[in-house]
Amino acid sequence: PVHRKSVIQKARLKLPILAEEQEIMELISQNSVVIIAGETGSGKTTQVPQFLYEAGYAINKMIGVTEPRRVAAISMSQRVAEEMNVSNEIVSYLIRFEGNVTDNTKIKFMTDGVLLREVQNDFLLTKYSVIILDEAHERSVYTDILIGLLSRIVPLRNKRGNPLKLIIMSATLRLEDFTENLRLFKTPPPVLKVEARQFPVTIHFNKHTFDNYLKEAYNKTVKIHTKLPDGGILVFVTGQQEVKTLVQKLRKSFKLRRNVAKTQEHNSDSDEASEIEQDLKRTLKRKKIRKVMTPVNLDDYSIPGDNDVETESELNSEDEIGEIVINTSKPLWVLPLYSLLPSYEQAKVFREPPEGTRLCVVSTNVAETSLTIPNIKYVVDSGKTKVKLYDKVTGVTSYMVTWTSKASANQRAGRAGRVAPGHCYRLYSSAVFNDTFQEFSVPEIQQKPVDDLYLQMKCMNVDKVHNFPFPTAPDLMQLKTAESRLEVLGALKNSKVTSLGRAISKFPVLPRYGKMLALSHQQNLLPYTICIVAALSVQEVLLETPITQSPEEAKNLRQKWGAMRRQWAGVGNSLLLGDPMVLLRAVGAAEYANTDGKLETFCLENGLRHKAIIEIRKLRVQLTNEIKMNVPDSDIIVDPKLAPPSDLQSKLLRQIILAGMGDQVAKKIKQEELKESEDKIKLKYAYRANNLEEPVFLHQGSVLKKTLPEFVVYQEIYETNKMYMRGVTAIEPE
Ligand code: ADP
Ligand code: MG
Residue nearest atom 15 in ligand 1 by C-alpha distance: 372
Q: Cβ < 6 Å from ligand 1: which residues?
A: 15, 38, 40-47, 75, 79, 350, 372, 374
DSSP H or E run through 596: none
Residue nearest atom 14 in ligand 1 by C-alpha distance: 41
DSSP H or E run through 524: none
- Pocket-testing residue among 107, 138, 368, 372, ligand 1, by greatest number of atoms within 8 A of Cβ: 372
- Pocket-testing residue among 75, 79, 193, ligand 1, by greatest number of atoms within 8 A of Cβ: 79
pLDDT band at 257 (very low <50, low <70, confident <90, very high): very low
Bridge partners (DSSP) of residue 359 are 333
pLDDT digits (tens, 9 = 90+) for 608-628: 999 899 989 988 998 888 888
The single-letter code of the amino acid at 232 is G
283-287, 510-514, 572-576, 669-673: range with lowest mean pLDDT: 283-287
User: ipTM of this predicted complex?
Assistant: 0.98
Say what the pLDDT of residue 395 is. 63
Cα(139) to centroid of ligand 2, in Å? 14
Q: Is the pLDDT of residue 269 over 50?
A: no
CB 687 within 8 A of CB 695: yes
Q: 569 exposed, middle or buried (CB, 10 Å; 0-12, 13-18, 19+)? A: buried
Among residues 578, 569, 566, 607, the alpha carbon closest in space to that of 590 is found at 607
Own/partner long-range contacts of 276-281 (Cβ < 8 Å, ≥24 apart): 276/251, 276/333, 277/354, 280/256, 280/331, 280/354, 280/357, 281/354
189-198, 209-218, 324-333: range with lowest mean pLDDT: 324-333
Ligand approaching nearest to the C-alpha of 43: 1
Alpha-carbon distance 682 to 497, whole Å? 45
Say what the pLDDT of residue 508 is. 79
**Count of alpha carbons within 13 Å of 621, Cβ hemisphere only?**
9
Determine the 3-state secondary structure of 237 from DSSP.
coil
| C-alpha of 293 from chain center | 38
Per DSSP, helices labelled H in 55-102 are: 70-84
Alpha-carbon distance 221 to 420, whole Å? 19
Among residues 576, 543, 572, 573, the alpha carbon closest in space to that of 560 is found at 543
How many CB atoms sit inside 10 A of residue 446's CB? 18
pLDDT digits (tens, 9 = 90+) for 475-488: 898 899 899 989 99
Residue nearest atom 7 in ligand 1 by C-alpha distance: 45
The residues placing their C-beta within 5 Å of ligand 2, an ion, are: 44-45
Percent of the chain at pLDDT exceeding 70? 86
Alpha-carbon distance 369 to 360, whole Å? 18
Cα(661) to centroid of ligand 1, in Å? 44
Cα(44) to centroid of ligand 2, in Å? 6
Ligand approaching nearest to the C-alpha of 193: 1
**Count of alpha carbons within 13 Å of 183, Cβ hemisphere only?**
11
Among residues 129, 190, 188, the alpha carbon closest in space to that of 163 is found at 129
Cα(84) to centroid of ligand 1, in Å? 14
Say what the pLDDT of residue 275 is. 52
Looking at per-residue pLDDT, the higher value among 282 and 228 belongs to: 228
Flag whether the pTM goes above 0.80: no
- Pocket-testing residue among 13, 46, 80, ligand 1, by greatest number of atoms within 8 A of Cβ: 46
Q: Is the pLDDT of residue 78 over 80?
A: yes
Ligand approaching nearest to the C-alpha of 372: 1
Per DSSP, helices labelled H in 511-667 are: 511-523, 526-537, 551-569, 573-577, 579-595, 599-606, 610-630, 647-661
Which atom of ligand 1 is least distant from the CA of 370? 4
Mean pLDDT, range 335-343, rounded to an integer: 85
Task: Compute the C-alpha angle 88/69/150, nearest 5°.
Answer: 90
Cα(276) to centroid of ligand 1, in Å? 26
| Distance (Å) of CA 304 to CA 8, 249, 296, 548 | 41, 22, 12, 34
Q: Is the backbone peptide bond immediately before 733 cis, with ω within 30 degrees of 0?
A: yes
Cα(8) to centroid of ligand 1, in Å? 11
Say what the pLDDT of residue 463 is. 87
283-287, 443-447, 634-638: range with lowest mean pLDDT: 283-287
Residue nearest atom 24 in ligand 1 by C-alpha distance: 350
Say what the pLDDT of residue 582 is. 97
pLDDT digits (tens, 9 = 90+) for 652-679: 999 999 999 988 899 998 877 766 666 6
